[in-house]
């Protein structure tokens, strides 16, 4: 395999420490979290105590001030490789998708109120864009925020919200002026202390069983004006700006999961006996593993290029869309092929490959469906 060159020695040591932390604190608890439909709050606190949440947040707000995205990428990749999909989705979303909105667009009061507790894991964050009638089409959201002078009055609902049930705060996309379409969209921070804000029970999903995905409801919720992120009416622009990192995070989770699935399948085929010998000695098994290892290696090189581009602030939306679409497709393909190599055991939930197969499917849907990704890529190359 080609040696990765994007990480220096310090970052490689950090990767090993993250791997060790996951092996001790995440993997042994995953089965229980799947039964609970959520990761424990204790785990969030331990993740924060280890300095693995919102690393980029400045020391002024309790963070480490590490602005090199490679460290964030390592956490996402190692969580993906672990096969524990609940934490692999929830933690990076909190740190790399939600917190940048508050960091980049929040006022001083908002940053001081929310970021320190996000860093420690005391408060869990979510982002609410999708609605029952508006998924990938974010311009048509219907949740409204009416200006009442010193506050906004918010009404509407959101669905499929990752970290939703446990969340203490959520960045919500609202319409402050429905007549202006995308230009009437704004972003508000809503927290659990606000009356009229309620949550549905966690969904029963095909995969991501340890991830507390649910609906959110807003009925005459009074949101202070200081909780507006950036300028009124510029929320859609902010979302488009931040979505490149969001899609990269999903892509990195995908390639990490694909690598982990291949690694575990190689080991399984060495141990599983058929016709008097390990199935790793059968030609079909060997060829299938060779195919998956090759495609994962290609995906890894592309992912590393995207990390480098992002660190240099050169990752454009089209390339991020390519990474999200291609690597999540690859993740699903690898999981399916590796499940097949497990035979009937691959369909048993106790085997990690079954979880990998079920968990992979949603990756092609959220953060913008892969069909939307292709449309964005096409617009770029045909302009």
pLDDT at 97: 95
Alpha-carbon distance of 101 to 169, in angstroms, equals 12
Same domain, 332 and 194: no
42 part of the active site: no
Average pLDDT value for residue range 74-81: 97
| Residue 94: domain span | 9-124
Using CA atoms, how far apart are residues 240 and 219, in angstroms rounded to an integer?
27
Asked which of 207, 232, 257 is the last residue of a domain, the reply is 232
Q: Which pLDDT score, from 0 to 100, does residue 232 have? A: 95
Question: What is the average per-residue pLDDT within 222-251?
Answer: 95
- Asked if 240 and 375 sit in the same domain, the reply is yes
pLDDT digits (tens, 9 = 90+) for 97-150: 999 999 999 999 999 999 999 999 999 999 999 998 766 667 778 999 999 999
The verdict on 303 and 341 lying in the same domain is yes
Give me the catalytic one of 215, 246, 259, 337.
246
- The answer on 43 and 156 residing in a single domain is no
Residue 4 covered by a domain: no
Q: For the segment 163-179, what is each residue's pLDDT rounded down to a tens digit?
A: 999 999 999 999 999 98
C-alpha dihedral, 311 to 316 to 317 to 323, nearest 10°: -60
Percent of the chain whose pLDDT exceeds 70 = 98
pLDDT tens string 279-324: 999 999 999 999 999 999 999 999 999 999 999 999 999 999 999 9
- Do 371 and 251 reside in the same domain of the chain? yes
Q: What pLDDT score was predicted for residue 2?
A: 67
Q: Give the end of a domain, one of 232, 249, 270.
A: 232
Residue 3 lies in a domain: no
Mark whether 258 and 339 lie in a shared domain.
yes
Would you say residue 69 has pLDDT above 90? yes
């Amino acid at each position: 395999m080609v040696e990765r060159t994007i990480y220096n020695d310090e970052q490689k040591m950090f990767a090993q420490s993250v791997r060790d932390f996951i092996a001790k604190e995440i993997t042994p608890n995953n089965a229980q979290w799947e039964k609970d439909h959520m990761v424990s709050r204790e785990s969030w606190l331990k993740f924060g105590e280890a300095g693995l949440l919102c690393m980029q947040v400045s020391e002024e707000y309790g963070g480490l001030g590490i602005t090199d995205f490679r460290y964030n990428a390592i956490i996402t990749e190692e969580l993906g490789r672990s096969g524990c999909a609940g934490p692999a989705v929830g933690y990076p979303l909190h740190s790399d998708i939600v917190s940048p909105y508050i960091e980049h667009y929040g006022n001083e009061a908002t940053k001081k109120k929310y970021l320190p507790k996000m860093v420690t894991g005391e408060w869990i964050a979510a982002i609410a864009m999708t609605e029952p009638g508006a998924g990938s089409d974010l311009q048509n959201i219907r949740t409204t925020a009416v200006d009442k002078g010193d506050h906004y009055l918010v009404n509407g609902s959101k669905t499929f919200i990752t970290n939703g049930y446990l969340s203490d705060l959520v960045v919500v996309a609202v319409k402050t002026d429905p007549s202006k379409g995308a230009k009437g969209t704004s972003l508000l921070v809503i927290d659990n202390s606000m009356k009229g804000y309620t949550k549905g029970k966690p969904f029963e999903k095909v995969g991501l069983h340890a991830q507390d995905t649910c609906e959110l409801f807003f009925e005459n919720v009074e949101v202070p004006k200081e909780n507006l992120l950036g300028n009124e009416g510029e929320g859609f622009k902010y979302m488009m700006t931040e979505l490149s990192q969001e899609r990269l995070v999903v892509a990195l989770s995908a390639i990490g999961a694909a690598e982990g699935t291949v690694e575990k399948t190689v080991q399984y085929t060495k141990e599983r006996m058929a016709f008097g010998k390990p199935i790793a000695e059968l030609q079909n098994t060997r060829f299938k593993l060779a195919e998956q290892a090759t495609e994962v290696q290609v995906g890894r090189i592309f992912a590393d290029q995207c990390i480098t581009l992002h660190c240099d602030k050169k990752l454009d939306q089209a390339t991020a869309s390519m990474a999200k679409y291609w690597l999540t497709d690859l993740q699903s393909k690898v999981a399916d092929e590796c499940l097949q190599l497990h035979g009937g055991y691959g369909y048993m939930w106790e085997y990690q490959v079954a979880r990998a197969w079920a968990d992979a499917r949603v990756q092609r849907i959220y953060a913008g469906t892969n069909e939307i990704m292709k449309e964005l890529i096409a617009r770029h190359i045909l302009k």
